[in-house]
Amino acid sequence: MIESKSIVRIIPSLLLKNKRLVKGKNFLNFIDSGDPVKTCVAHDSQLCDEISIIDLDAHHNNKEPNFEILELISKELTSPIMFGGNIKNFKIVERLIRNGADKVLINSNIFNHKLIKEIINSFGKQSLVGGVDLIFIEGKYHIYSKGKIIKTNFMDHIKKVNDQNVGELKLTFVNLEGTRKGLDITTSKKIIDAVDMPVIIEGGAKNLIDIENAIKKGVNSIALGNLLIFSDNNIFKIKQFLDNREINVRLRN
């Protein structure tokens, strides 16, 4: 088996809008991709390691997340749920956890020190995932937040997230998201080596070989959207492929 700090995780990445799942490209041009409960049940039955759900309505419209759909989903699953979308105060976090979220994904509010401290003190750091969206323009990566490009040193930003003592980091490569042009393994590895927490990467997974290459170079948690939704791949097929390549994945409950 390939050595890794932990078992390799394959995580479906789902976007919730108008009580349906959607998928787009570069965070734009969303199209319907299915029923949220049925889709989550399917991924759960295929032994996904957890499920990432982001409420786009909450994020885009500055409203509270859809707690009701989260509860419906959580009642049907055994897989852990990571939930994000305009999480700006501790009351929202409490309600998300109560309605079935195992982790909350916080992006633009990750430097709200009071909120971060409350979450860690109440639920433990393993319940908190720091989200960072990266976008490649003018020959380099920048931070993408609330629809705006922040021209700052992205590694400085990531190190500040690391200093928040969050349980793990989720990286989304905006310019690759939904394109299937290939994972940015080099940048991902640079970030993984610079932080002291688990890192999930998302954006651009081309095919199963691309996933294998990323894992062999040190990535051990990958969130997938387009590759699951718009191809004949599923979680179990991907894991069987990786297992055949002697990569340590969970193939049974």
Quick one: pLDDT at residue 236?
A: 95
pLDDT for residue 101: 98
Please say whether the beta carbons of 64 and 89 come within 8 A. Answer: no
| Structural domains of the chain in order of their starting residue, each with its CATH number | 9-129+205-244 (3.20.20.70)
Tokens for 154?
């992205």
Handedness of CA 250, 53, 12, 171 (dihedral sign): negative
Regions of the chain with pLDDT less than 70: 1-5, 27-28
pLDDT at position 223: 97
pLDDT at 4: 43
CB 206 within 8 A of CB 183: yes
Provide the pLDDT for residue 5: 44
Q: What is the pLDDT of residues 57-81, one digit of tens each?
A: 998 899 999 999 999 999 999 999 9
pTM metric for this prediction: 0.93
pLDDT at 30: 80
What integer pLDDT is reported at residue 146 of this predicted model? 81
The region, left, alpha or beta by phi > 0 then psi within -120 to 50, assigned to residue 167 is: alpha
Q: What per-residue confidence (pLDDT) applies to 83?
A: 98
pLDDT at 2: 37
Q: What is the rounded CA–CA span in Å between residue 188 and residue 171?
A: 8
Long-range Cβ contacts of 203-208 (<8 Å, 24+ apart): 203/171, 203/172, 203/173, 203/174, 203/175, 203/176, 203/177, 203/178, 203/179, 204/173, 204/176, 204/177, 204/179, 204/180, 205/180, 206/180, 206/181, 206/182, 207/180, 208/233, 208/238, 208/241, 208/242
pLDDT, residue 37, reads 97
pLDDT of residue 43: 96
pLDDT, position 31 = 79
